Structure 1
Amino acid sequence: MSESIGFPIDDYHFKSHSIFEELPKEDQDFVKTVMLLKKYRKGEMIFIEGSYPSGIFYLIEGKIKKYKVDKDGREHIIYICNQGELLGYPALLSEETFSDSAMALENITVGFIPGKKFLELLEKSTVLSSKLLKNLSHEFAVLENNILSIAHKTVRERLALTLLILRDKFKAGDKPNEIVEITLTREDLANILGTAVETLVRFLREFKDDDIIETKGRTIRILKAHKLVEIANL
């Protein structure tokens, strides 16, 4: 059974999933009319850093990683997007290129809304414009929290916090009480933490020896979330 962890997990999650859900019916109908369904296979790119947006993306099913690549070719994962989240709208609104890249972590289904149609809806919908402004502010706070955790927490603390965040991402909405299984490559997990794979594996082994997690292949099952809260120093 999945246990309650008792700390504000929303401080580390974007909240764009609520934007379309809470629009007036007329606006929701407009979105459904203009949205184009696209499927991507695991490993396919949704958009690439430095390219110009032609629209925005609504993640219907699956998970996407947003990341940047530094001058040495190292990947730094900024955020894992979950079902119901919007991608790409900050670049569209600012009329700038994408500041990061997005890749499918598994086979996914995405709703694509052409830029002109999205801006048309934004112009006439005060509810949408208000929600986008509020969400942009929240996303800034989430990224700020992530930067602070990298700057001030040890790798061990960051791993504990990251596992808690991913635990919330990977839980099944229809089975909230089941133990959560996190399925990520060790490389991706290390790229979230900003550490070497060898260092990550060492701490995962430590958590496993303390019966905080179980591992099978690349799958991680969290057994004692409250222990991770203590380790993360939250």
Structure 2
Amino acid sequence: MPDLFPHCRECKTRYHGKLAGINDETLDLLDMSKTCNLYKKGQRLIQEGTRPLGVYCIKSGKVKVFKLGQQGKEHITAILKDGDLVGYRAMLSDSLYHVSVEALEEVVACHIPREQFLKSFQNDKVLNKRLITDLSKEVISLTNVVTDIAQKPVRERTAATLVLLNSVYARNNPQGEEEMAEINLTREALANMVGTATETLIRVIHDFKEEELIKTNGRKIIIQDLKALQRIGGIY
């Protein structure tokens, strides 16, 4: 049985996640200070409005990142998976968490205390460059999102969201090839990400099924024609 909480040097996320490529000395520092936990579906890792005491590295499972809007309605801003770091934006800006993070399924995550994370960020050039680059890309992405919401029809936004979610939920087969994913989100959560009413989202999903772009199994969505969805969503 695989070790649930392996040494950071042995963790598979070091090869494809935010910590990929950092040196062994940094990994040793993080390993000595980390605390790993198992989170059940619905458990919060981060609560909006609280002060960050560290960051979380997702070892397995998926989490949703969201803000609460008017009348307590959730607005999902991202779905994160193994290898992602959670909470470093608030840490680097020395601000309160502006989002909450909740497990969508069983999640294993390791908490890295503030002091050790900031020391690693300052001393490891690979980690420093990656996170600064990611923050810069997010500013550009936010501008595009605002434009999309204002200008793109729901059909295009839905297609683009499914393409992005496919990369989150996709798995590799034994030959190392990426297979089409089973996107396992409620229609309400998906509508939330697209920025439309649930009823409107359901109609668009129905249209995509009729066009054989996707198929469904219960609430799961399986993409059949990724390239067509990329064209519709304007993702090239």
Q: TM-score range by the shorter chain?
A: 0.7 to 0.9
Where relative contact order (Cα < 8 A, 6+ residues apart) is larger, the structure is: 1
Shift in Å, 1:76 = 0.9
Instruction: Give unmatched runs, 5+ long, in structure 2.
Output: 1-15
Which residue does the alignment assign to 2:225?
A: 224
Q: Percent identity?
A: 37
Deviation at 1:150, TM superposition (A): 1.7
Distance 1:83 1:142, change over 3 A: farther
Looking at structure 1, the residues matched to 20 and 180 of structure 2 have their Cα atoms a distance apart, in angstroms, of 28
In structure 1, runs of 5+ residues without a counterpart are: 1-16
Q: TM-score, normalised by structure 1?
A: 0.87
The equivalent residue for 1:180 is 181
Shift of 1:176: 3.1
Q: Which residue of 2 aligns with 1:94?
A: 93
Alignment match, 1:206: 207
Q: Compute the displacement of 1:82 (Å).
A: 1.6
Report deviation, 1:40: 0.7
- TM-superposition CA deviations, 1:122-141 (whole Å, max 9, x none): 34334433332222112222
Partners of 1:142 and 1:18 in 2: how far apart?
20
CA distance in 2, matches of 1:24, 1:224: 40
Q: Distance in 1 between matches of 2:123 and 2:225?
A: 48
The residue correspondences of 1:1-234 to structure 2 (distance < 5 A) are 18-174=17-173, 176-234=177-235
Partner amino acid, structure 1, of 2:75: H
User: Matches of 1:177 and 1:118 in 2, distance apart?
Assistant: 32
State the shift of 1:225 in Å.
Answer: 1.4
The root-mean-square deviation of aligned C-alpha atoms, in Å, is 1.7
| TM-score relative to the length of structure 2 | 0.86
Q: Which amino acid aligns with 1:230?
A: R
- Paired residues in the alignment total 218
| Alpha-carbon distance, 1:94 to partner | 1.8
- Judged with a 3 Å threshold, the aligned counterparts in structure 2 of structure 1 residues 89 and 160 are, in CA distance, closer, same or farther, namely same
